[in-house]
Amino acid sequence: MSKFHIALTGLVFTFFLQNSYANERLVALTIDDLPFVGPVHSKNGETNRFMQLVNQIEERQVSATGFIIAGSIGKGQEELLTYFKQKGFYLGNHTYTHINLNRVGATKYLEDLEKSEERLQGLMTSPKYFRYPYLAEGRGNDKLLVQEYLNNHNYIIAPVSIDSKDYKFNSRLLAVNWRNREARLNDIKNNYLSYIDKQITLAEKSHKQNYPEILLVHANLLNSYAIGDVIDLFKRRGYRFISLDEAMRIKKDQDLEKELLRKQALITN
């Protein structure tokens, strides 16, 4: 056996030893549309909803990465985002106006991105993460130009493996008069959790190996009530919450391991 073959075999064996997480169920929580999207019926309503969301996550001692719509930061809301970061959570970029790359050209999108880059200086954490609004990555040259900008500005694109589709259930809650929402909340929340449960099952079936899941939820009215229940659901199904950074590192390691195994199989054959 050549030195190359021996080295490659050693690398594969090392990865197997290191990747003890391969048999774990792991998930990273990501929250789009910070600082908050929801109706306000009292002077402190927006702050209270935000704190309600953050407190449920903190109580359950899980990591979270939030993605900020820079142009939606209202008066006093920068302090809320700073509080989010001080709690040990992470903050990334979600454009300035929640613009859809599939509907506008790269020129307009890049102008929007540049504004968000300027506005979010000092708020974003490291490494710098970016989440496409609507998960719309564009097509053709538009896609390539935006990717080039993100690469040049040291952004890592945050993927999604489980989409909660919470906006559908949130719209049902918003359709109820605010005086009656409390009475309807449990039914809507239970339907929401049932949908996520099915999404988890589908994600598990689609993976050939135990990749970490990356969950997408939004900072909306529904999740100000239900985010704790969402976290509890994953824990009941045996998941351990990790940071987005850890999830991305593990996925990278697993992809490298997969490539090493492929090369090992070619050598063996």
In a domain, 5, yes or no: no
Is residue 154's pLDDT more than 80?
yes
> What's the pTM?
0.88
Residue 163 has pLDDT above 90, yes or no: yes
**Total domains present in the chain:** 1
Contact 157, 150 (CB under 8 A): yes
**Residue 174: predicted pLDDT:** 94
- pLDDT, tens only, 165-221: 999 999 999 999 989 999 999 999 999 999 999 999 999 998 766 789 999 999 999
Q: Are 207 and 217 in contact (CB under 8 A)?
A: no
- 1-22 confidence digits (pLDDT tens): 555 555 545 554 445 444 555 6
CATH (domain of 143): 3.20.20.370
pLDDT of 23 reads: 75
Mean pLDDT of 219-226: 96
Residues whose CB is less than 8 angstroms from the CB of residue 11 and which lie 6 or more positions away in sequence, other chains included: 260
Of 52-61, 62-71, 188-197, 256-265, give the lowest mean pLDDT range.
Answer: 256-265
Cβ-based neighbours of 113, under 8 Å, separated by 6 or more: 93, 95, 96, 146, 149, 150
* Cβ atoms within 10 Å of 88's Cβ, excluding its own: 12
Q: Nearest CA to 94 among 74, 115, 79? A: 115
Flag whether 12 is in a domain: no
Task: Kindly list the distances between the CA atom of residue 12 and the CA atoms of 7, 28, 230, in Å, as whole numbers in the listed order.
Answer: 9, 26, 36
pLDDT value at residue 17: 43
pLDDT of residue 13: 47
Domain assignment present for residue 190? The answer is: yes
Q: Which domain holds residue 258?
A: 23-268
Structure tokens at 267: 């050598």
Question: DSSP labels for 90-114?
Answer: EEEE--SS---TTTS-HHHHHHHHH
pLDDT digits (tens, 9 = 90+) for 234-257: 999 999 999 999 999 998 887 676
**What's the CA angle centered on 39, arms 43 and 75, to 5 degrees?**
50
The answer to whether the beta carbons of residues 151 and 115 sit under 8 Å apart is: no
State the chain's mean pLDDT as an integer: 89
Identify whether 127 is preceded by a cis peptide bond (ω within 30 of 0). yes
- The verdict on residue 247 lying in a domain is yes
CA distance 116 to 147: 16
Ranges of beta strands (E only) in 94-205 are: 128-130, 155-157, 162-163
Cβ-count burial 189-217 (b if 16+ within 10 Å, e if not): beebbeebeebbeebeeeeeebbbbbbbb
- Name the token pair of 260: 């090493």
Lowest-confidence range among 15-24, 88-97, 117-126, 159-168? 15-24
Helix (H/G/I), strand (E/B), else coil: 26: strand
Position 150 in a domain: yes
Asked, for residue 9, whether it belongs to a domain, the answer is no
**Ranges 36-40, 48-52, 95-99, 153-157: which has the least confidence:** 36-40
On whether the CB atoms of residues 130 and 96 are closer than 8 A, the answer is no
Mean pLDDT score, 68-86: 95
Domain membership of residue 140 (yes or no) is: yes
Question: Which residue type is seen at 253?
Answer: D
Q: Angle at Cα 55 formed by Cα 197 and Cα 132, nearest 5°?
A: 60
Region 34-44: mean pLDDT is: 70
Q: Is residue 120 part of a domain?
A: yes
